[in-house]
């Protein structure tokens, strides 16, 4: 009898749809597949956007979101999960219920709040629910600098501020916090991300900053990569390392790639 072929880990993404393919569900699915996992997806919002900006959105209801997720978890064993754009309070309440009441694994929470072009992607009540209810369920939360400032209340200017913000965010309940430094810090010329792990230890991830202009979808790609690596059984630290390397390689490849669109460059 032939050996049974092992199944690919299933990774569920709960996020918004970017029809132009640069971010959100489409970026997540491409990344999950690239890591050798099987992507499943539930849409929270249909956005109207391209590489130059976001022009509006049609949000899903909480019941439609649950109706998307329930058939998936009744049929597939979900090994990894991530959340992205969660635009409304009802959506976040439903996400919290689903992760609390089912066997879904603790998610990677990408606290999407503002688009690259400056469009506000989450309401004030929803932001409070994300901060106070969803983060306590997270395996890891992955804010960029503006998101970390909003979650922590700390104005981040340097790596010391990043550490302080990570500590405040970890008190909200996530097992681990990854503050994505990018290239905004005055005291660093590198693309530096800071992980505060489950044991309360800080780990720096530094890569050469590759200047290709504004990039679209890097946060989605990173969080989807982390969720995929966790589904494959890697530790949080190694998952961050592998996902960050993947994003850096994709950004570096843009230097030799033809441009798509007229705005931020999609990964």
Q: What pLDDT was estimated at residue 117?
A: 63
Q: What pLDDT was estimated at residue 1?
A: 45
199-222 pLDDT per residue, tens? 999 999 987 777 777 888 899 999
- Taking the C-alpha atoms of residue 243 and residue 80, their distance in angstroms, rounded to an integer, is 14
The three-class DSSP label of residue 182 is coil
* CA neighbor of 184 nearest in space, from 141, 147, 217, 222: 147
Pull the structure tokens for residue 183: 């290239």
Q: What pLDDT was estimated at residue 71?
A: 98
Q: Kindly report the CATH number that applies to the domain delimited by 10-256.
A: 3.40.1190.20
Residue with tokens 């982390």: 226
Residue 88 DSSP symbol: S
Q: What pLDDT was estimated at residue 150?
A: 93
- Taking the C-alpha atoms of residue 56 and residue 11, their distance in angstroms, rounded to an integer, is 28
Q: What pLDDT was estimated at residue 5?
A: 62
Low-confidence ranges of the chain (pLDDT < 50): 1
* CA neighbor of 93 nearest in space, from 126, 69, 140: 126
Q: What pLDDT was estimated at residue 80?
A: 98
Within 10 angstroms of residue 215's Cβ, the number of other Cβ atoms is 20
116-134 pLDDT per residue, tens? 666 677 888 999 999 999 9
- Taking the C-alpha atoms of residue 125 and residue 198, their distance in angstroms, rounded to an integer, is 28
Tell me the sheet residues that pair with 42.
Answer: 14
pTM as predicted:
0.94
């Amino acid at each position: 009898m032939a050996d049974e072929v092992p199944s690919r880990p299933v990774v569920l993404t709960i996020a918004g749809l970017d029809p132009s393919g640069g971010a959100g569900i489409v970026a997540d699915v491409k990344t999950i597949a690239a890591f050798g996992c099987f992507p499943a997806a539930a849409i929270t919002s249909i956005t109207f956007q391209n590489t130059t900006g976001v022009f509006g959105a049609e949000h899903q209801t909480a019941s439609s979101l649950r109706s998307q997720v329930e058939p998936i978890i009744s049929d597939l064993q979900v090994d990894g999960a991530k959340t992205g754009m969660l635009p409304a309070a009802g959506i976040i309440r439903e996400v919290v219920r689903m992760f609390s009441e089912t066997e879904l694994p603790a998610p990677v929470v990408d606290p999407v709040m503002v688009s690259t072009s400056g469009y506000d992607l989450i309401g004030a009540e929803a932001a409070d629910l994300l901060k106070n209810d969803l983060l306590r369920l997270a395996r890891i939360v992955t804010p960029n600098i503006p998101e970390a400032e909003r979650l922590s209340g700390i104005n981040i200017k340097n790596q010391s501020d990043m550490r302080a913000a990570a500590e405040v965010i970890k008190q909200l309940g996530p097992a681990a916090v990854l503050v994505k430094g990018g290239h905004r810090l005055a005291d660093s010329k590198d693309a530096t991300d800071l992980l505060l792990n489950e044991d309360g230890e800080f780990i720096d991830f530094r890569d050469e900053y590759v200047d290709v202009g504004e990039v679209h979808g890097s946060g989605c790609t990173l969080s989807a990569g982390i969720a995929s690596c966790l589904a494959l059984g890697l530790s949080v630290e190694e998952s961050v390392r592998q996902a960050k390397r993947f994003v850096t390689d994709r950004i570096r490849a843009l230097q030799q790639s033809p441009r798509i669109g007229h705005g931020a460059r999609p990964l």
